[in-house]
A and B are shown apart, each in its own frame.
Chain A
């Protein structure tokens, strides 16, 4: 199984997609990630990350029908692929292990 190495943004985006369900499209992910990391990410930064994750086979996407609120454009919704679920679990495990190590260090 291929191991993926992520930055914090990639991991947070994967996490956001996993939690948001039907709201996991660019705008929803951007709001969630910006709130969680306390930084206002641009639409471009989020879509670049989403595209990279999709290219790595960690995300899948589908488009909705055109929506008037988007000026007649469709919305692309993302969901985790099985590989993405595994990668997210790996990332969470790593985060927990790092936290444990941090707690265990001598004062």
Chain B
């Protein structure tokens, strides 16, 4: 009998230091074994999941540690670029369409170009779908390709979407619905975490690199 593998792997991906990972997972496994004999494997597994969730905040905070500010800055830049390009593209397409309409359209006949016929709500919905895909793929790849602490990086990326998404409100084309401003950051963060968790699940259960000597930081 073993503790829930996915929770174990997910928790492992939140710990930056391989030594601490050994310690924390070892402790949890030891207590899981004891509880499993006393209360049964199902109750022990529930306890394991609850304990893992409680530990994540502490481990994440100490795992980011002094590298938090530069990492957040780098992640913000990395996240801002595609998002700005995408929304800039979406906004400029509507603006260009408006411009063309102004130059060549005939307002009296009621003719419009296809782009201007598309309601802002539809554009916003498309932007959300694209943002979801963007976030999911970014989180998935980051978590899949990180050798250690993939979810720490995914969390930094998810956090860095927030200021970008808020800044994008300034660039949103006129007439876009109000709910877009609220839903965009939520969709981005959730999809990034979703992708990250997917990446953790897809990773081979190979061992982490062995710890090299003493590590000062958690």
Q: Is the CB of A76 within 8 A of B30?
A: no
Cα–Cα distance between A27 and B51 once the two chains are bound (Å): 12
- Band of interface residues on B: 20 to 34
Residue B183, interface by CB 8 Å: no
Residues of chain B from 26 to 62 with CB closer than 8 A to chain A in the complex: 26-31, 33, 51, 54-59, 61-62
A/B pair count, beta carbons within 8 Å: 72
Residues of chain B from 191 to 218 with CB closer than 8 A to chain A in the complex: 216-218
Give the distance to chain A from B34, nearest Cβ to Cβ, in Å. 9
Cα–Cα distance between A42 and B55 once the two chains are bound (Å): 6
Which chain A residues lie closer than 8 Å to B29 at the CB level? 69-71, 73
Interface string of A19-56 (1 = CB under 8 A from B): 00000011100100000000000111101100100010
- Band of interface residues on A: 20 to 34
Which chain A residues lie closer than 8 Å to B61 at the CB level? 48
Which chain B residues lie closer than 8 Å to A71 at the CB level? 2-3, 25-26, 29
Q: Is the CB of B26 within 8 A of A75?
A: yes
Which chain A residues lie closer than 8 Å to B56 at the CB level? 44
Cα–Cα distance between A48 and B62 once the two chains are bound (Å): 7
Closest B residue by C-beta to A64:
B26
Residue B22, interface by CB 8 Å: yes
Residue B20, interface by CB 8 Å: yes
Report if A42-B27 is in contact (Cβ < 8 Å); known contacts: A51-B218, A76-B19.
no
Complex partner residue of B23 from A45, A47, A55, CB under 8 angstroms: A47
Residue B162, interface by CB 8 Å: no
Give the distance to chain A from B214, nearest Cβ to Cβ, in Å. 9
A-B contact pairs, 10 of them (CB 8 A): A44-B55, A45-B58, A47-B23, A47-B218, A51-B218, A67-B26, A70-B29, A71-B2, A71-B25, A73-B29
Seed contacts A25-B27, A55-B216; 8 additional CB < 8 Å A-B pairs: A27-B30, A42-B54, A47-B20, A47-B24, A47-B218, A51-B62, A69-B30, A73-B23
